[in-house]
Structure 1
Amino acid sequence: MLTLYMIDNCDTCRKARKALDEKSLLFKTHDLRKDGLSAPLLEHILHRVPLVEAINKRSKTWRELSDEEKDFDANSGRQLLLKHPTLLKRPLLELDDDTILVGYKDGDYDKL
């Protein structure tokens, strides 16, 4: 089953969810704000998505970080994501054990 990692009030996440619904695809959702982001889940994601691609540098959360926090390495980047789950780019659509699609634009799910 597909898993959509999202935040409920994110417009792009809502568009992705609507696209999946319109295709009648079965999926479950994981709200990063409500359901949280555990260390094991983060590692699961980062084994499929590179850390630099996983951090949303256009988010309000990113803009509010100190310059010191923005200068992250692999370990501190993981800690940032665990502390601020909204820094994770979204939506993330997990297709299978090996593939996670990052972000959403109209038409991205047409081949599913």
Structure 2
Amino acid sequence: MLIIYGIPACNTMKKAFDYLNEKGIPFTFHNYKKSGIDADQLSYFIEQLGEDTVLNKQGSTYRQLNDAEKANLDTFTFLQEKTSAIKRPIFVLNNRCFAGFKPEELDVWLTN
């Protein structure tokens, strides 16, 4: 079963939910705000997607850090504590991961 990771208030997440529902693709939702993220799952995301992809540098959570904090950032600990800084959404299916919401790329990923 497809699992989608993120936070419900995110506009990109809402687009992803609508996309999956319109296509009739069943999924479960892992809400970081309610459930957090365990170390193994976060490690898996970083291993599969890379730290630069998993850390959402465009979001306000990261941008609020000052330059010194960014320079000395322990990304793993930061993402565990500030799950809103994790790229959204992250899709997991059959031990494969896909980050972000790009419908054309997601279509290809879902069919492979």
- Specify the TM-score bucket, using the shorter chain as the normaliser: 0.7 to 0.9
- Give 2:89's aligned residue: 91
How far residue 108 of structure 1 moved from its aligned partner, in angstroms, is 3.7
1:87 CA drift (Å):
0.7
2:6 aligned with 1:9, yes or no? no
Q: Would the aligned equivalents of 2:98 and 2:106 in 1 still touch at CA under 8 Å?
A: no
Any gaps of 5 or more consecutive residues in structure 2? none
Mark the runs of 5 or more structure 1 residues left unpaired by the alignment: none
Q: 1:72 to 1:94 in 2, by over 3 A?
A: farther
1:64 is matched with which residue? 64
Provide the aligned length of Structure 1 versus Structure 2.
109
Write the distance in 2 (CA, Å) between the matches of 1:72 and 1:79: 12
Identical positions, percent: 31
Q: Does 1:79 align with 2:53?
A: no
TM-score (norm: length of structure 1): 0.87
TM-score of the two chains, using structure 2 as the length reference:
0.87
Q: Partners in 2 of 1:100 and 1:43 — Cα distance?
A: 12
Match of 1:46 in 2: 46
Question: Which structure has greater helix proportion?
Answer: 2
